[in-house]
């Protein structure tokens, strides 16, 4: 039955820079066909894309993979076996949604195939107690070990073109038990999760690389001009009319896709510029509020100093009033004593006058 395409679309293909792990590197000069393939003999789903005779995508879908939509027309996924991250730029959001839905569908199918394969391996790795001695000594077949595992290739699978995946170097020997296989998958799952976290962080940081986007926009514009010139040259050729028309149609479609991608990048740049301007406004507001806060703090310090001075003056005034009260009280006591003496003197004088 072999391997057959089950879904196809067109997109611009990118790969993460293996050196920086941040920047995108285009692997196709124009939009190419990206297809899902299914191998019914091994229950394996693959994503394959060819640029001429060169395979620029050859990725086997595993249950651990995740397709992430980073913008309205761009998506990406990490392939740990290829040690890279693939990115696809679509001409419309609907194409991206269809591709993502198919990715999720085939990922679930790969997961179910893997579970069935593990159950088959567990059954075939345990010999029946009722089997004859000769049957118990017979080795496990390649199908019972490899089964439908998306990370393995059966030994008798014929070699295909460059678009087919290479056999996995991590395939388990036939004599391993299902326990060893489970441990292998657990270790690989942990490694994939770590790699996925690192790659996700690197890709999130790469979205802010506006300079590279400008370079890509310039490259798209140059490519569009070159394709326009190519269309003009093809129109001038009188022979091979059918071939020229088909090439012209493909080039026009490529130009439209490039123009849509260019428009999307320009919109993204405008959005980033607006975010930068809003960030500048926020910074100016922050500086103004900081200055007002400093002025308020200085005024507060001045008021605190004035309050302290007033408290000291009030305290000294209270002390002065207390001293004044004491002196006034002593004067009143002295005045009372003098008045009493004058009263006694008056009474004495009165008695003397009356006696005389």
Q: What angle do CA 256, 262, 263 make, to 5 degrees?
A: 90
Query: Rounded to an integer, what distance in angstroms lies between the CA atom of residue 168 and that of residue 155?
Result: 11
Residue pair 156/167 in contact by the 8 Å Cβ criterion: no
Domain ranges of the chain: 5-120
pTM of the model: 0.37
**At a CB cut-off of 8 Å and minimum separation 6, what does 150 contact?**
43, 44, 45, 60, 61, 62, 63, 110, 113, 114
What's the pLDDT at 166? 35
Contact 187, 151 (CB under 8 A): no
Q: Which of 220, 296, 327, 299 is nearest to 265 (CA)?
A: 220
Number of residues assigned to the chain: 356
- Both tokens of 165, joined, read 């995946």
CA distance 223 to 217: 10
Q: Are 118 and 5 in contact (CB under 8 A)?
A: no
Residue 175: the pLDDT is 40
Confidence at residue 8, expressed as pLDDT on a 0 to 100 scale: 94
| pLDDT at residue 191 in the model | 78
Nearest to 90 by CA among 47, 34, 52: 34
The third-level CATH classification (topology) of the domain covering 5-120 is PH-domain like (2.30.29)
Kindly list the averaged pLDDT for each block of 10 residues, start to end, along the chain of length 356.
84 92 89 92 90 90 92 93 92 94 92 82 58 38 35 34 35 48 76 76 66 71 72 60 70 87 90 85 86 90 91 90 90 92 92 88
Distance in angstroms (rounded) separating the CA atoms of residues 302 and 296: 10
Specify the pLDDT at position 235: 62
- Residue 130: the pLDDT is 42
Among 30, 38, 74, residue whose Cα is nearest residue 56? 30
With a CB cutoff of 8 Å and minimum separation 6, the contacts of 331 are none
Please give the pLDDT value at position 22: 84
Note the pLDDT of residue 170. 38
Query: Which of 147, 107, 110, 108 has the alpha carbon at shortest distance from 125?
Result: 147
| H-helix or E-strand spanning residue 13 | strand 3-16
- Listed in sequence order, the DSSP H helices in 140-240 are 142-146, 178-206, 210-236
pLDDT at residue 161, as a whole number: 33
Q: Which residues pair with 48 in a beta bridge?
A: 35, 58
């Amino acid at each position: 039955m072999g391997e057959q395409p089950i879904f196809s679309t067109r997109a611009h293909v990118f790969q993460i820079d293996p050196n920086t792990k941040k920047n995108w590197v285009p692997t196709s000069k124009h939009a190419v066909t990206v297809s899902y393939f299914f191998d019914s003999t091994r229950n394996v789903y693959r994503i394959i894309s060819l640029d001429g005779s060169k395979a620029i995508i050859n990725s086997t879908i595993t249950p651990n993979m995740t397709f992430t939509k980073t913008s309205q027309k761009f998506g990406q996924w990490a392939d740990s076996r290829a040690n890279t991250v693939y990115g696809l730029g679509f001409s419309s959001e609907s194409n991206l949604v269809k591709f993502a839905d198919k990715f999720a569908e085939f990922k679930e199918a790969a997961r179910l195939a893997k579970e069935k394969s593990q159950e088959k391996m567990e059954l075939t790795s345990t010999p029946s107690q009722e089997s004859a001695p000769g049957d118990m000594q017979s080795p496990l077949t390649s199908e019972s070990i490899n089964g439908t595992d998306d990370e393995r290739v059966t030994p008798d699978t014929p070699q295909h073109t460059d678009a087919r995946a290479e056999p996995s170097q991590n395939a388990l020997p036939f004599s391993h038990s299902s326990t060893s296989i489970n441990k292998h998958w657990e270790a690989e799952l942990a490694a994939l999760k770590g790699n996925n976290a690192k790659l996700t962080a690197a890709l999130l940081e790469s979205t802010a690389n506006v300079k590279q986007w400008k370079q890509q926009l310039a490259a798209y514009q140059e490519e569009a001009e070159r394709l326009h010139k190519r269309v003009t040259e093809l129109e001038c050729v009188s022979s091979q009319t059918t071939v020229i028309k088909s090439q012209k149609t493909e080039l026009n479609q490529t130009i439209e896709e490039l123009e849509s991608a260019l428009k999307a990048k320009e919109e993204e740049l405008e959005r980033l510029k607006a975010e930068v301007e809003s960030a500048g406004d926020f910074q100016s507001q922050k500086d103004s509020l900081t200055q007002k806060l400093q002025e308020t703090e200085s005024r507060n310090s001045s008021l605190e100093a004035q309050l302290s001075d007033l408290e000291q003056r009030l305290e000294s005034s209270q002390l002065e009033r207390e001293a004044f009260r004491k002196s006034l009280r002593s004067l009143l006591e002295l005045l009372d004593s003098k008045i009493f003496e004058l009263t006694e003197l008056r009474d004495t004088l009165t008695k003397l006058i009356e006696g005389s």
